[in-house]
Structure 1
Amino acid sequence: MAQESDTHHPKDAQEEFVESIEEHTEQPGHPERHDVTQPTQVKAQDKALELIEGLGHSTILTPENNKHVLRQIDLRLLPILLAIYFLQQLDKSTLSYASVFGLVETTHLHGHQYSWLGAVVYVAQLVFQPLVSYLLVKVPIGKFLAVSVLLWGITLACMTAASSFATLMVCRLFLGIFEAGLAPAFIAVTQMWYRRREQPIRLGSWYAMNGVVNMFGSLITYGLGHISSSVFEPYQIIFLFFGLITVVFSAAVFVFMPDSPVKSKFLSEEDKLVAIERIRMNQQGIESHEWKWDHVKEACLDLKSWFWFALMLTISIPSGGITTFGPLIIASFGFNDLNTILLNVPFGAVQLIATMGGAWLATVWKKKGPVLALLCLPPIAGCVMLLKIPHDDAHKGPLLVGYYIISVYPGITPLIYSWSAANTAGETKKKVTTGILVVGQCVGNIIGPNLYTTEEAPLYRRGLLSNLALFCVLWLLIVLNMAYISVLNKKHEKKRVALGKDAKVVDHSMFAVGSVPTDKEGEPIQQMVHDNAFKDLTDGQNEDFVYVY
């Protein structure tokens, strides 16, 4: 994280905010001030205000205390989030790994049955998404994650005993139910703890576990596949091993995962205030356990929500197909079982580079739309290669290159999550909007595997053609969404002018703490902080909210 020097600059906006609170304390009836310590408003506002009221003061955010607290947050949260997501993706990938080690033959799967084993997880997640959105508002997020990890680990271990399509379907269904809240919870954690400038890297880091899983998961599975047992089939060993690891790790999540900055035990009281001030500029709030139906209505009527849905649906269809059929696609090039698993390792490395590289570029550019449009191009090229290059021994190398180029696509999903997370405010609206995204992801992952069938091997032409078309559609949707966000920013400018405020608002959440934004002539721009950050307002209600391209 880049830190600015301590050069002198005009009074910090946070200091002005604190002074405005003190002035209002002397003038309680002032119509243009918003007293953050007024008890009658606490219930409808954010839990951060309760802490500020209880301690009797706020704090000033500086580059030094920001760096100190951010480091503490990263050291506590990121290992837990990365491990959970690694295990979740590992658990999801066990189906494709198991397919290489005899699952299809031993359980007598045929037709679309294997495809439905991949899709049913997302059917369950889709159905349970409304309940997940409600629980994430009402239930402490740390406890929610711990229980989810425990239940899905138990379910995966139980898959060891599944010996038919019906029993496998039941296990996969419950796996989907218990994993339904993980991605929404991760996004909520990112919004709760990190400035908008910091969110792409953090979201990208846990989503990059997809690539790590494809590397190390493949290697672990390669080792497990060599175990000779008279009791268990190789694929059963895979289910049991990963399931038991997940169950054990759930205890660590319960003990160490904090529920919020306000309730965290690893931060001192002063550091909690710094954590709150870090998030103030996001204009998104931190935590409120009040479910607000007007937020639900706005989320459902907001065209932006359906752009996120369309983007996530469009990327998840090819993602679902390639995730489920990836090892089988490699096998179709003429490689044996163990080599197929090993050749999936570079696929994961490309995923990791694309995900973190895209997040880094979005942070540098302070824009996500252009980066997303750029990431669409390699998968388009990869699909064309797999469709045009002959599938024979002489072309194994080029076919693998085409497959690896397609694997840039996982970098797209976390940036869509990050784009949505940065552009949504209001506790209930944030959860509902994330739910809409996850529904789009689930629908896409249900459709995706069913565009491929085992009977289409080795060409899988229908699946690859549909993926090619969808990557092109995705590029167009990204451009349209950028145009709509521009319209929303102009709308907020007009609202600010009508209220007597400056038309242009400096989005401090996209700058390093302590930096001074400048105008075209290089002159410092100072912007008064309007006290809307912790009122639990939606982005549509808060005229000070600045949308990110």
Structure 2
Amino acid sequence: MSQGKTQDKAVVEHLEDNQSATFSEDVEATKQNRGIDQEIAQFAAQHAVEVDEATNKRLLWLINKRVLAVMLVTYFIQSLDKGTMSFAAIMNIQKDANLHGQEYAALTTIFYAGSLVAEFPVNILCQKFPIAKWTSVVLWGITLALTAVCKSFAALMVVRYLLGTFEAAVQPSFLLMTSMWYRRAEQGEYVSYWYAMNGLQQMVGGLMSYGVSHINNPNIKSWQVLFMMLGIVTVLWGAFIWLYLPDSPMRAKCYNDEDKTLMVERVRANQTGLQNKVFKREQAIEAFTDIQVWFYVLMQILNTLPTSGIGAFGNLIIKDGFGFDVLQTSLLSIVQGTVHILIVTFVAYVARRTKQTLYVMMAICVPMVATTSVLMAVPNGRSTRVGLLIAFYGTFWFNGVAVLLLSMITRNIAGQTKKSIVLTMSLIAWAAGNMIGPQVFQTKDAPRYRVGFTVHLAFYIAQIIVFFILRLILARRNKIKVEAAKQQGRSGGEVNLDNAFNG
């Protein structure tokens, strides 16, 4: 659905009519200006300024080595910290902490309960405070390290809830940062980069789990070492990004004023706003009455319920359901991570080339339906476990759906108030789906959890239907926009960008 190339062209077409003012005159005029955020007004030109390809590449390099690098490492660490419980499960944390029945599943559910409760205030505060300072990495690192001293279900529930609360800022912050620093046509690609860190986490986590599982000390368990080690690394990284990551193009002390202006101008064609700390009531109403927003909410629930169930129980299914031992299961996490990265990269590439995001999302649901059916029907056995493992990896296409959904939200929602509300609604739905997901895997259904996979199958089929309906709605909207543009005497791709920052 992205029209990035069309919009970039629109900037050039619009510039041909606005070459009378010099670059510095445009910036000065904007500083005395109209109802846009004052920080943006300091650096945005009054009329759209063309950024040539060589300059664009230079700016991207400056942005990537500061912003993208931090997002990649931070999301990797967050994914690793969040997934540590899955590795601890095959190191017998259930036995050491006296967990029974659904208590292990509850540890994942309570994590997302913390995220759900925190999402609304976190998203509001992301708009009010410097975004790079609001990721609370140090706090979640301390909480993770404290997990090592928990030896009861109650204690684990407390630290897992706090961990979910402190990590709630990461995804909304990164989505806002992606829309702030990158062009609309680039956003799907860059979201896929940091989202792919989930896969790298599985690879590195598998190796760490393999190494730590060899610890045989009566005074400290291997899972305790894992939590302490990752907690300390997270705290150190959190202290680093506080100093290194710029809050926005306008506040970045690491760039000169001309580069700041060019960075602001290169995202003008997004027409989704860049920053505005003023709450706009009309945008809030629009957020709650726009049907596509409610489709995004529904899509989040339909996709995250299977995702979280697999995330919490995946290693247990491989170990107990398919018959692999602890060390083999740890090493197979490397394969899991590789599959995740390949899927996310491939899906983002295809969506970018075809510009048919929802069709791609529909297509990748088909292998999820097929492989889940295999997991439900094929019995256990040494002759079938490799095939079952391959089918299990085939369900990982849901990661492709997740990254395309995130990129659609950043691209298609304009206005900072509306975007903040939509992100909040979407991430609350994300947390709700993740809370419910582990609960469909009941202890009585172990080790293959066929009832859980039956629920997943129904959700995959529902996703195909929802994606198709949303595409019909958006196609109709686009047709109406093109007709309206023609009636105003403009071509469908020609857009006036003078008010692009009035978000």
Change over 3 Å in CA distance of 1:403–1:36 after alignment to 2: farther
Conserved? CA contact 1:46–1:534, under 8 Å = no
Q: Distance in 2 between matches of 1:350 and 1:141?
A: 32
Return the match for 1:137 from 117, 127, 135: 127
Q: Distance in 1 between matches of 2:31 and 2:246?
A: 27
Indicate whether 1:322 and 2:310 are aligned: yes
Residue 21 of structure 1 deviates from its aligned partner by 6.3
Q: Distance in 1 between matches of 2:87 and 2:185?
A: 37
- Gaps (5+ residues) in structure 2? none
Return the match for 1:529 from 492, 496, 502: 496
Q: Distance in 2 between matches of 1:495 and 1:10?
A: 17
Q: Distance in 1 between matches of 2:332 and 2:208?
A: 13
Change over 3 Å in CA distance of 1:501–1:10 after alignment to 2: closer
Q: Distance in 1 between matches of 2:32 and 2:373?
A: 62
Return the match for 2:338 from 325, 329, 349: 349
**Post-superposition CA distance 1:386-420 (Å, at most 9, x none):** 11111122211111111111122212101100011
Q: Distance in 2 between matches of 1:37 and 1:79?
A: 32
Indicate whether 1:228 and 2:216 are aligned: yes
Q: Distance in 2 between matches of 1:215 and 1:378?
A: 23
**Post-superposition CA distance 1:27-74 (Å, at most 9, x none):** xxxxxxxx96273624x4463223237xx9974311111111112111
Conserved? CA contact 1:354–1:410, under 8 Å = yes
Residue 428 of structure 1 deviates from its aligned partner by 1.3
**Post-superposition CA distance 1:288-347 (Å, at most 9, x none):** 222223222211111111110111110001001000000011012111111111122211
Q: Distance in 1 between matches of 2:29 and 2:467?
A: 38
Q: Distance in 2 between matches of 1:328 and 1:528?
A: 53
Q: Distance in 2 between matches of 1:168 and 1:505?
A: 56
Aligned residue in 1 for 2:15: 15
Indicate whether 1:113 and 2:83 are aligned: no
**Within-5 A mapping of 1:254-333:** 254-331=242-319, 332-333=321-322
**Within-5 A mapping of 1:237-256:** 237-256=225-244
Q: Distance in 1 between matches of 2:57 and 2:37?
A: 27
Conserved? CA contact 1:389–1:398, under 8 Å = no
Q: Distance in 1 between matches of 2:331 and 2:10?
A: 58
Q: Distance in 1 between matches of 2:184 and 2:98?
A: 49
Aligned residue in 1 for 2:175: 187
Aligned residue in 1 for 2:81: 91
Return the match for 1:378 from 353, 358, 367: 367
- Gaps (5+ residues) in structure 1? 27-34, 507-526, 537-549
Q: Distance in 2 between matches of 1:451 and 1:327?
A: 16
Q: Distance in 1 between matches of 2:474 and 2:224?
A: 49
Indicate whether 1:71 and 2:61 are aligned: yes
Conserved? CA contact 1:279–1:285, under 8 Å = no
Return the match for 1:456 from 445, 453, 456: 445
Aligned residue in 2 for 1:200: 188
Conserved? CA contact 2:133–2:247, under 8 Å = yes
Residue 269 of structure 1 deviates from its aligned partner by 1.6
Amino acid at match of 2:474: I
Indicate whether 1:479 and 2:471 are aligned: no
Q: Distance in 2 between matches of 1:69 and 1:301?
A: 37
Partner SS, residue 163 of structure 1: coil
TM-score by length of 1: 0.85
Q: Distance in 1 between matches of 2:10 and 2:338?
A: 46
Conserved? CA contact 2:300–2:430, under 8 Å = yes
Identity, in percent, stands at 33
Residue 14 of structure 1 deviates from its aligned partner by 5.2
Residue 487 of structure 1 deviates from its aligned partner by 2.2
Change over 3 Å in CA distance of 1:84–1:207 after alignment to 2: same
Indicate whether 1:41 and 2:8 are aligned: no
Return the match for 2:117 from 117, 120, 127: 127
**Within-5 A mapping of 1:419-430:** 419-430=408-419
Change over 3 Å in CA distance of 1:66–1:428 after alignment to 2: same
Structure with greater proportional helix content: 2
Conserved? CA contact 2:272–2:500, under 8 Å = yes
Change over 3 Å in CA distance of 1:36–1:482 after alignment to 2: farther
Residue 379 of structure 1 deviates from its aligned partner by 1.5
Q: Distance in 2 between matches of 1:401 and 1:10?
A: 46
Q: Distance in 2 between matches of 1:127 and 1:487?
A: 36
Partner SS, residue 486 of structure 1: helix
Tell which deviates more after alignment, 296-305 or 226-235: 226-235
Aligned residue in 2 for 1:547: none
Q: Distance in 2 between matches of 1:351 and 1:412?
A: 12
**Post-superposition CA distance 1:447-472 (Å, at most 9, x none):** 11000023311220110001011111
Amino acid at match of 1:19: Q
**Within-5 A mapping of 1:428-439:** 428-439=417-428
Residue 11 of structure 1 deviates from its aligned partner by 10
Change over 3 Å in CA distance of 1:18–1:228 after alignment to 2: farther
Q: Give the number of aligned pairs.
A: 493
